[in-house]
Amino acid sequence: MAYKETRRLVKFGAASRGITLPKPWLDYHGDKALKLTLLGGGGILVLAPQGYEETARRLLDKAESEAVRP
């Protein structure tokens, strides 16, 4: 399921920030979305539901290798 949507960070307490996830994405992934793995590097953050961690790692590695550096 391809998905693109802009979200704003929401302030939680003094130092924390968070985002809400789109309902269609949550509906699609069901219970797998109850636990997410966050992968980051090169200015990119990837959220991967259970079972998609390896796919997310490959996508992040590819994006980092293709990124244009400032």
Say whether pTM exceeds 0.75.
Answer: no
Q: Predicted confidence band at 70 (pLDDT cuts at 50, 70, 90)?
A: low
State mean pLDDT over 1-19.
89
32-65 pLDDT per residue, tens: 888 999 999 888 889 999 999 999 999 999 988 8
**Mean pLDDT for all residues in the chain:** 89
Distance CA 48, CA 53 (A): 6
Token couple for 49: 């539901």
Contact, 53 vs 35, CB < 8 A?
no
Domain spans of the chain? 10-66
